[in-house]
A = this chain, B = another copy of it.
Amino acid sequence: MVSHSEPPKEDLAAVALEHKIDEANAIINGTTDTSKVHELDASKLVVTLADPNARQVPDEAAANAGLETICTDHMVTASWNHQSGWGVPELKPYGPISLMPTASVLHYATECFEGLKVFRGFDGKLRLFRPNLNAKRLLMSTLRISLPGFDPVEVEKLVAKLVAVDGAKWLPKTRPGSFLYIRPAVIGTQPQLGVQAPKEALLFITASFMPRMDSPAGGMRLHTNPEDMVRAWVGGFGYAKVGANYGPSLLATNEAKARGFHQILWLYGQEAYCTEAGASNFFIVWRTKEGKLQLITAPLDDKLILDGVTRRSVLELAKTRLAEEVEVVERRYTIDEVIEADKEGRIVEAFAAGTAFFIAPVSQIHHRGTDVHIPLGENDSGAYTAKIKSWMKDIMYGNEQHEWGLVINEEDEAAAGQKRKREQDDEAKRE
Contact = CB atoms under 8 A, between A and B. Distances in A.
Interface of A: 10-17, 19-20, 67-69, 71, 75, 94, 96-103, 105-111, 113, 143-146, 181, 183, 185, 187-188, 190-197, 199, 204, 206, 208, 210, 223, 225-230, 233, 235-237, 242-256, 264, 278-279, 356, 368-369
Contacts of A193: 69, 181, 183, 208, 210
Given A71-B102, A106-B185, A11 B227 contact: yes
A192 B63 CA distance: 12
Closest 6 A-B residue pairs measured CB to CB?
A109-B243, A244-B244, A13-B229, A16-B255, A108-B246, A12-B226
Select the residue from A204, A230, A247 with max chain B CB neighbours within 10 A. Answer: A247
Nearest to A181: B193
Given A16-B255, A107-B111, A242-B248, A69 B102 contact: yes
B246 A235 contact: no
Contacts of A109: 109, 111, 242-244, 246-248
B246 A243 contact: no
A195 B243 CA distance: 10
Contact of A255 (B13, B226, B245): B13
A244 B248 contact: yes
Contacts of A235: 227-230, 233
A244 B111 CA distance: 10
Contact of A108 (B101, B107, B247): B247
7 contacts: A97-B106, A109-B244, A109-B247, A195-B250, A229-B236, A233-B235, A244-B245
A228 B11 contact: yes
Given A12-B255, A13-B252, A68-B102, 6 more contacts: A67-B199, A75-B101, A109-B246, A233-B235, A242-B247, A244-B244
Q: By DSSP majority rule, is chain A's interface helix, strand, loop, or mixed?
A: mixed
Contacts of A204: 101
A380 B250 CA distance: 45
Nearest to A109: B243
B210 A194 contact: yes
Contacts of A255: 12-13, 15-16, 19
Contact of A247 (B17, B226, B228, B243): B243
Contacts of A108: 243, 246-247, 250
A210 B195 CA distance: 12
